[in-house]
Amino acid sequence: MRYRPLGRTGIKVSPFALGAMMFATSFGNPDPDDSIRIIHKALDAGINFIDTADVYGDSEEVVGRALRGRRDNVVLATKMGRPMGDDPNRQGASRRWVMTAVENSLRRLGTDHIDLFQIHRPDPDTDVEETLSALTDLIRSGKVRAIGSSTMPASDIVEAQWVAERRGLERFHTEQPPYSILNRGIESEVLPVAQRFGMGTLVWSPLAQGLLTGRVRRGQHNDLRRAGLFRHLNDERRLDAVERLIPVAEKAGLPMTHLAMAFAIAHPGVTSAIIGPRTMEHFDDLLAGVDVTLTDEILDQIDEIVPPGTDVGALDQAYRPPALLRPDLRRRPVTERSAA
């Protein structure tokens, strides 16, 4: 395993990070002992980076059990900020919730510190200085080693860096955006900005939430597509791109999963790509491709199918800023329009 620097933190991590969302017994692997075996196999294979979140059901508890006796060999990352119930104060990035959430995660993980504590989604209702101030206190207390953001627009990343510098606060050391062959939008600004500020980048959904496994094809109807649970699995534009990518993988002699993962970690701005296996079979398939390197010829072919910096459709879990979600932020009041 060839380890990479996690930004400028001095921490070294594997190019594959083990995502623990599917270890939640409520919606992932119902057998925690099986999940623990997967975690142990990942550690034995040299993967030293594990990423989870408070909102992933009992994932943190499963990870905590797996790391007993091996905690010091793992770079442990978790996230907070997404709603943890109906209480409006049990979400977001306020100092009040940051301080509570970290204690909850420490307890569930069974550890006295978190190596990378991340804000799961931007919180437009909280001043970033408030968030960074709270996170700075956590680093100074020793409960957190490094801090990061997730799905943060490039302009917000820049603002957070400037606020940290002006106020003498800890800055975000990492960013966790979505990235895959089908979703390359972060190549335009997010990755260059992260590189400029020396941030590590931990990308999620390198398999485009299952589309780049090769198991979802045009004209085929599996249970997920019939159930309509994931809109992106029925996006004709994305399916067209997959059909064009499959021959590229076949000509290269690679499974689609290996092509997709090798692409995700080929960008110089990407530190690690998160794999999210639910079963040992899934993990073994992904692990077999950890040393795959794509040639310039293959990358050029991918560029022709999905041009750099573009997205083909959108992920179901993609972050959409308030400026796009709220009509009142992009429409002048009727009285002003009438006057014009």
Tell me which of 234 and 136 has the higher pLDDT.
136
Residue 320 — very low, low, confident or very high, per pLDDT cuts 50/70/90?
confident
Domains observed in the chain? 4-339 (3.20.20.100)
Is residue 229 pLDDT above 50, yes or no?
no
Model confidence band, residue 215 (pLDDT cutoffs 50, 70, 90)? confident
DSSP state at residue 175: E
The b-or-e profile of 174-199 (16+ CB within 10 A means b, else e) is bbbbbbbbbbbbbbeebbebbeebeb
In the predicted structure, residue 162 carries a pLDDT above the cut 70: yes
List the one residue out of 31, 90, 30 whose CA is nearest residue 55. 90
pLDDT average, residue stretch 87-96: 97
Is pLDDT of 339 > 70?
Answer: no
Cβ atoms of residues 268 and 198 within 8 Å: no
Residue 232 CA to residue 21 CA, distance in Å, equals 19
Residue-level pLDDT at 219: 66
Q: Does residue 72 have a pLDDT over 50? A: yes
Taking each helix axis from N to C end, the angle separating 32-44 and 280-287, rounded to the nearest 10 degrees, works out to: 20
Tokens of 30: 């119902």
Predicted pLDDT of residue 226: 42
Mark whether 319 is an active-site residue: no
pLDDT value at residue 283: 96
* Pairing between β-strand 16-19 and β-strand 4-5 as defined by DSSP bridges: unpaired
Kindly tell me if the per-residue pLDDT of 228 is higher than 60: no
| Distance (Å) of CA 238 to CA 8, 29, 208, 308, 316 | 35, 27, 10, 15, 13
> Does 16 score more than 50 pLDDT?
yes
DSSP 8-state assignment for residue 172? P
- Tell me the pLDDT tens digit for each residue of 53-71: 999 999 999 999 999 999 9
* 274-301: pLDDT as tens digits: 999 999 999 999 999 999 999 999 999 9
pLDDT value at residue 285:
96
- Mean per-residue pLDDT, 156-162: 98
Q: Which of 3, 56, 179, 319 is catalytic?
A: 56
| Confidence (pLDDT) at 230 | 58
pLDDT at residue 324 is higher than 50: yes
pLDDT at 316: 77
| Mean pLDDT calculated for residue range 150-170 | 98
Residue 337: the pLDDT is 63
- Name the band, by pLDDT with cuts 50, 70 and 90, for residue 201: very high
- pLDDT of 145: 98
- Render 106-147 in DSSP notation, one character per residue: HHHHT-S-EEEEEESS--TTS-HHHHHHHHHHHHHHTSEEEE
Lowest average pLDDT, out of 7-11, 46-50, 232-236, goes to 232-236
pLDDT above 70 coverage of the chain, percent: 94
Does residue 218 carry a pLDDT above 90?
no
Q: What is the pLDDT of residue 262?
A: 98
**Averaged pLDDT score across all residues of the chain:** 93
**DSSP of 72-96, one letter per residue?**
GG-EEEEEE-S--SS-TTSSSS-HH
Question: Which of 187-191, 218-222, 232-236, 245-249 has the least mean pLDDT?
Answer: 218-222
Cβ atoms within 10 Å of 254's Cβ, excluding its own: 18
How would DSSP label each residue in 25-52? Answer: TTTS-S-HHHHHHHHHHHHHTT--EEE-
* Percent of the chain scoring above 90 in pLDDT: 84
DSSP code, position 102: H
pLDDT category, 227, cuts 50, 70, 90?
very low
